[in-house]
Structure 1
Amino acid sequence: MIWSVALCVTWSVALSVADRHGGEPSPAAVVFDCLVLVIGGGAVVHGARRRVDREAALVRVAQRSQDAVLRPLAAEVGGVGFSSLYRSVSEFGLGGDLYDLAHTPYGPRVLIGDVRGHGPEAAVLCAATVGAFREGACGMPSLVDLAAHLDARIRGDLGPEDFVTVLLAEFAPGEVRLVNCGHPAPLRIGLRAEPLAPSRPSAPLGLGPRPQLQRARLGVGERLLLHTDGLSEARDAHGTMLPLDDRVREAACLPLLQECLDALLSLATTHAGGSLQDDLALIMCEPRCATPTGDGGRIHDPPVIRDRCL
């Protein structure tokens, strides 16, 4: 930008000099003008290339950071099966959705969240949120305190208009404990798809969250779908959001957890006309006693789960 301004000023001076000498520049002035154009143009191109290289390096660093943050979840922790799926609408594959799983003394704990915005800046904030979760998940008995820890740790990374919605889930025999800070309610999948909304909504992280602990039944034969608003707010050509109805329940009842998530992604994509408008993260959770079979050690869901969903 500076070189462009300098080039314009120099060119204007040269024209002014030519005007003062009868409008016909001397050979020396012509040579000078050519040198200015070549050197100035080269400087502009070099500056633009350096800026593009810096931006590309930033994107590469953000992509590596996000790959480290959004690592695949363990297939089973503490008697609960897990599977995850993530899709970004960013051209660089950098989105604002996040998730993680921790094996803690209090049972398996899951984090899912959504950062305002997309791109490298959102990816950095995702990394900060997941890092805070990994730091505090095993040391805080209370999910409410863990949410407060996340809020305190990322507050310095938030801009004036930034916030992060998060849902924390902790699994115990026969139940799930939830803390929701402005995030879409998870779906309990059994005889129907039932949203587990908090009785008192809380603001997201960064906006003064005051969540309460929520406890809900979750036994063998049921599943829990955690999702970001890329699912619930997928819109068709008329602006109608995807209904979380029997089609979602049917997709969530397929035999294998990853099949469920693939079917849900297909459902949301089809509803949105072939392409998603927002990032999407899905986690399927299932209390179970999985048993290996003879087909290459593949893990199958207990028959009771399929019976409950049919």
Structure 2
Amino acid sequence: MRGARGSEAIAARRKGRQGQWAPQVRVFLVGGALTAGGVLTAHLTVTEWRLTPGLLLIGPVLISARKGPKATAGAVVWSVAISVTWPLALSVVDRHSGELSPAAVVFECLVLVIGGGAAVHGARRRVAREAELVRVAQRSRDAVLRPLAAEVGGVGFSSLYRSVSEFGLGGDLYDLARTPYGPRVLIGDVRGHGPEAAVLGAATVGAFREGACATPALVDLAAGLDTRISGDLGPEDFVTVLLAEFVPGEVRLVNCGHPAPLRIGLRAEPLAPSRPSAPLGLGPRPQLQRARLGVGERLLLYTDGLSEARDAQGTMLPLDDRVREAACLPLLPECLDALLSLATAHAGGSLQDDLALIMCEPRRATSMGEGGGTHDPPAVRDRCL
């Protein structure tokens, strides 16, 4: 048994090394093909031409703009090899073709090595700069999208976030605050993806944290968010937002262009507003919506990464019994993992849009005077101080 496990481990390591080097090998071959293709095209289309180091550096320079230093170095090796072997090949095919002297070949190789070294250095600096951007983006994401407290004011919460951006940072946003009016939750979606959308998302979350405890009416809180972030929005920018406030036996909602939440009970029921409102930045005029939400029921808040996940035929994920079954698992984090798996499987194994999920579950009928009080986790209790 131990020998079999050892063989499996060795095979797994070999497979991992092969998978790690496969992209580099592909880029190496592509770099050689680009350089050789350019040389061959020039030879076939131009009557009098000469193989110059500048032509041979096309492949390394192009690859250095997209790939790392290893791939760029591979392209440089290709260029040097072509510089050495091409005159020999021409002399075999065409006896009358002029041959470069050994000194000229050495000079061209030296130029290629120097130029290729500059390309490798540029690729290394670009990769290091991108790695630093990734670290900064991840720190920003962690500061804005904090894990939600497990319970606030008698309501259980769990959150999940996935971004399709290469930096792991997107336009979906969420937050939770304990307030004198009950736990308040924000979920939203900024138009677009990547770091630019994340900046607007951070501004929206910051405005929510400033106003959640100081604004009694939920509609006024939405208006304050719109006023606060309007100066940060471009001509085509907007933010869909859903605010939820939990009081004993019900949830109060203000929806500004966001997908309607699902009340999970005997069935999955969307709590759509009677009159749709525009998103933030487009003149929202939302209304307060009240809905029953008792112990034993759950409320799923989500972004369109769930509802608009599409299969190969372009069909969106139906919010039907499969969603309800996933949302009824015993533990809230299990529910969100199951919903993520459901959306990913429907989309063919890869999501095309950012996704944020929040599951809310009333667990005890607290009075407004309790409001979560001393039972709330310190991180949430201190947020509104």
TM-score by length of 1: 0.78
- 1:220 is paired with a residue of what secondary structure? coil
Further displaced range: 51-60 or 122-131: 51-60
Using the TM superposition, give the Cα deviation of residue 57 of structure 1 relative to its aligned residue in structure 2, in angstroms: 3.3
The aligned runs of 1:1-310 (5 Å cut-off) are 53-289=128-364
- 1:194 is paired with a residue of what secondary structure? strand
Alpha-carbon spacing, 1:249–1:64, altered in 2? closer, same or farther (3 Å): same
Question: Distance in 2 between the 1:273 and 1:80 partners?
Answer: 34
- Contact 1:83 1:285 (8 Å CA) reproduced: yes
CA RMSD of aligned residues (A): 3.0
Higher share in helix: 2
1:141 partner amino acid: P
Question: Distance in 1 between the 2:128 and 2:228 partners?
Answer: 32
Using the TM superposition, give the Cα deviation of residue 55 of structure 1 relative to its aligned residue in structure 2, in angstroms: 4.6
- Equivalence for 1:304: none
- Contact 1:59 1:120 (8 Å CA) reproduced: no
Higher share in strand: 1
- 1:60 is paired with a residue of what secondary structure? helix
Alpha-carbon spacing, 1:61–1:193, altered in 2? closer, same or farther (3 Å): same
1:218 partner amino acid: L
Further displaced range: 80-89 or 59-68: 59-68
Question: Distance in 2 between the 1:41 and 1:250 partners?
Answer: 58
Question: Distance in 1 between the 2:112 and 2:328 partners?
Answer: 68
Question: Distance in 2 between the 1:123 and 1:61 partners?
Answer: 12
Question: Distance in 2 between the 1:270 and 1:56 partners?
Answer: 30
Question: Distance in 2 between the 1:61 and 1:262 partners?
Answer: 27
Q: Deviations over 1:260-281 (max 9, x none)?
A: 1111111111111111111111
Bigger Cα Rg: 2
1:236 partner amino acid: D
Identity of aligned residues (%): 93
- Contact 1:100 1:130 (8 Å CA) reproduced: yes
- Equivalence for 1:30: none
Question: Distance in 1 between the 2:240 and 2:127 partners?
Answer: 32
In structure 2, the gaps of 5 or more residues are 1-53, 55-109, 366-385
Question: Distance in 1 between the 2:292 and 2:134 partners?
Answer: 43
- 1:226 is paired with a residue of what secondary structure? strand
Q: Deviations over 1:148-204 (max 9, x none)?
A: 111111112222211111100000001000000110000001111100001111111
2:298 partner amino acid: R
Question: Distance in 1 between the 2:136 and 2:231 partners?
Answer: 21
Q: Deviations over 1:225-257 (max 9, x none)?
A: 000001100111100001001111111111111
- 1:260 is paired with a residue of what secondary structure? helix
* Count of paired positions: 272
